[in-house]
Amino acid sequence: MRQRLINKTEPQETLWQETLLQGDSISGRTAVVAQPISLQSLLLDSTITKEDWIAGVKHHSKRVTNLLLNDQIEEFNQYLSSQLGSETGESQALKAIDYRPVLQDLLQTAILIEHSTIPPYLTALYSIKDGKNTLASQIIRSVAVEEMLHMIMVCNVMNAVSIQPHVNQEQNYPVYPMKLPMNVDFYVGLEKFSTNSIATFIAIESPSNPLVKAPTYDEPVDVNTFSAKSFSLEENNFWTLENMKGFIMENVHTIGEYYDVLFFYITIFQIMAYYNEHGKLPQSFEELNTGGIFKGDPAKQIRPEQYYGSGGKLHAVEALAGVIAVFQEIKGQGEGADDSIFDVDPSQFEEGAELAHYFRFKEVFHEHFYLGGKYEPFMDENGMMPVTTPPTGKPLPVDWNEAYPMKENPKLSDYAHNKELYAQGLEFNKTYRRLLDAIQSAVEGNQKDLEKSIMYMYALKEQAVGLMNQPLDEQSNAGPTFEYTNL
């Protein structure tokens, strides 16, 4: 696998585990701490309560993701055999659960999450005047391109489980301002380049781990590079779309956590598929890796040689190992790899020591690079510092005034009084639709159509700048709206 991720070890209890393991203080006494139910009971026990199911999902999703997304296969095998080692009776409910509508909804939501970040990032990028804020522009552009890569890789996961992904339908368009479909308390919108928009981007990319290794540099780095029971279906079957989405909306606060839980759900459905095929539960990753839900057509996979974007590594998906690689890439680029601020282990230097998205945006916001900074005052005895630690290295010059005064969250209807401006806004939306159509065609098996997306990206910038040069009123200019339109 390409990298190890944040949370690769488990000594520090997460908030989920703290909630799960803490005792209640009653009249000065501490109640006995309840142990989480086994993974086998989570799957098969008809007597568990909804509260036990939720606590079990919290515990086992963290265990599974910590092990598999950090390449600890031997440890995962030990965990799996200890959790699923006993004999099982026949479970008609397990056989009856249909994973397809659940994964279709949850993976399509992952596409929406990735898609929702692209227009805000592009809007801030396009609003920067030509020749100004060069370094900040490079950072925002690099993140936007990688978000498009993430969206395509989630499509690969959907195709791998034989579910058609959709990126260009009206119901899959983000509508701004909006909240990401998780338990978050901030809105994402279309805004010009400003401290406010960059602060929102930092919130979007927030890591799930509160601590990170303080960066160190051995060599100069160029800052410009960058026990089971049978049960019937009518009994307590909590593996439904309603319950699984409900768990996410109550307990998931970051994009990284969303992918953790989504990966756990995929693993659960693969376990169920193995049970249905073999009449027993899997005992190792080797048994779990292939077959099962991975019945998709390999010809629909977009492979590295067919992707023309820079930054990041595209992974095809034909088994659970491919999902691991995809989620490692997405999480590593977003929040950091190997407990670091980098999107890969900097010792590997596959693509240079590039920072994860969260830390790239913090550099812009604080107008300093992490490189060469002094972080000892923020470090604990293990060399860890809070992720909120600001960069204190070389200055990163930013002129916040060198951006077009675009109206926040514009709508095409705002331009109805100006026929020419309305036509410009509509043409931008058509170009963006054509870009998504090209991606849609590619993920349906016509990979060559992905080449068209490069042409549309160049056109988008020109059209967006044309809009941002047009005064809308005394205070603000027009801007791109990224609204769905028929061609």
Specify whether 379 is located in the same domain as 338. Answer: yes
Mark which of 401, 432, 456 sits at the end of a domain: 401
Using the 8-state DSSP alphabet, how is residue 8 labeled? -
pLDDT at 346: 45
Asked if 356 and 418 sit in the same domain, the reply is no
Q: Of 24-28, 86-90, 276-280, which has the strongest mean pLDDT?
A: 276-280
239 and 155 in a common domain: yes
Same domain as 397, residue 453: no
Q: Which of 401, 430, 451 is the last residue of a domain?
A: 401
Q: Is residue 7 in some structural domain?
A: no
Instruction: Give the mean model confidence (pLDDT) for residues 253-269.
Output: 96
Q: What pLDDT does residue 214 have?
A: 87
What angle, rounded to 10 degrees, do the helices at 195-204 and 99-127 form? Answer: 160
Does residue 213 sit in the same domain as residue 181?
A: yes
Higher-pLDDT residue of 294 and 41 is 294
For 351, the 3-state DSSP assignment is: coil
324 in the same domain as 419: no
Which token pair is 59? 């515990």
Residue located via tokens 């209640």: 24
Same domain? 408 vs 394: no
Tens of pLDDT along 401-454? 999 999 999 999 999 999 999 999 999 999 999 999 999 999 999 999 999 988
- Mean pLDDT calculated for residue range 232-245: 70
User: How many domains is the chain built from?
Assistant: 2
Q: Residue 166 is encoded by which pair of tokens?
A: 């959709």
For residue 465, the model assigns a pLDDT of: 97
- Which tens digit of pLDDT belongs to each residue from 96-107? 678 899 999 999
CATH number where 31 lies: 1.20.1260.10
pLDDT interval class at 90 (50, 70, 90): low
* Per-residue pLDDT tens digits for 353-388: 589 999 999 999 999 999 889 999 999 999 999 999
Instruction: Answer whether residue 236 shows pLDDT above 70.
Output: no
What is the per-residue pLDDT for 92? 57
The more confident residue out of 140 and 226 is 140
Average pLDDT, the chain: 86
Paired residues of 188 in beta bridges: 178
Q: Does residue 196 form part of some domain? A: yes
* Torsion angle in degrees (nearest 10) through CA of 406, 429, 185, 180: -150
Residues 6+ apart with CB under 8 A from 187: 177, 178, 179, 200
Return the amino acid letter for 85. G
CB count within 10 Å of CB 264 equals 21
Interval 33-58 mean pLDDT: 86
Which helix or strand (DSSP H or E) is residue 385 part of? strand 384-386
Residue at which a domain ends, from 370, 386, 401: 401
Over range 274-290, report the average pLDDT: 93
**For residues 362 and 206, what is the distance between their CA atoms, to the nearest angstrom?**
10
Comparing CA positions, the residue from 325, 262, 240, 242 lying closest to residue 289 is 325
Residues 396 and 411 in one domain: no
Regarding whether 453 and 351 lie in a shared domain, the answer is no
Question: 71 pLDDT exceeds 70?
Answer: yes
With 60 as the cut, is the pLDDT of residue 235 above it?
A: no
Mean pLDDT computed over 306-324: 86
Q: What is the model's pLDDT at position 246? A: 94
CA distance 284 to 74: 9
Model pLDDT, residue 45: 81
Q: Are residues 68 and 166 in the same domain?
A: yes
CB 231 within 8 A of CB 93: yes
Higher-confidence residue of 10 and 273: namely: 273
Give 3-state DSSP helix, strand, coil % of the chain, rounded to 5. Answer: 50, 5, 45
Chain centroid to CA 413: how far?
A: 32
Contact between 459 and 404 under an 8 Å Cβ cutoff? The reply is no
Same domain, 420 and 396: no
Confidence at residue 256, expressed as pLDDT on a 0 to 100 scale: 93
More confident residue, 31 or 283: 283
Domain enclosing residue 421, as ranges: 404-487
Model confidence at 308, in pLDDT bands (50, 70, 90)? low
pLDDT in the model for residue 239: 87
Mean pLDDT of the region 282-286 = 96
pLDDT greater than 70 at residue 232:
no
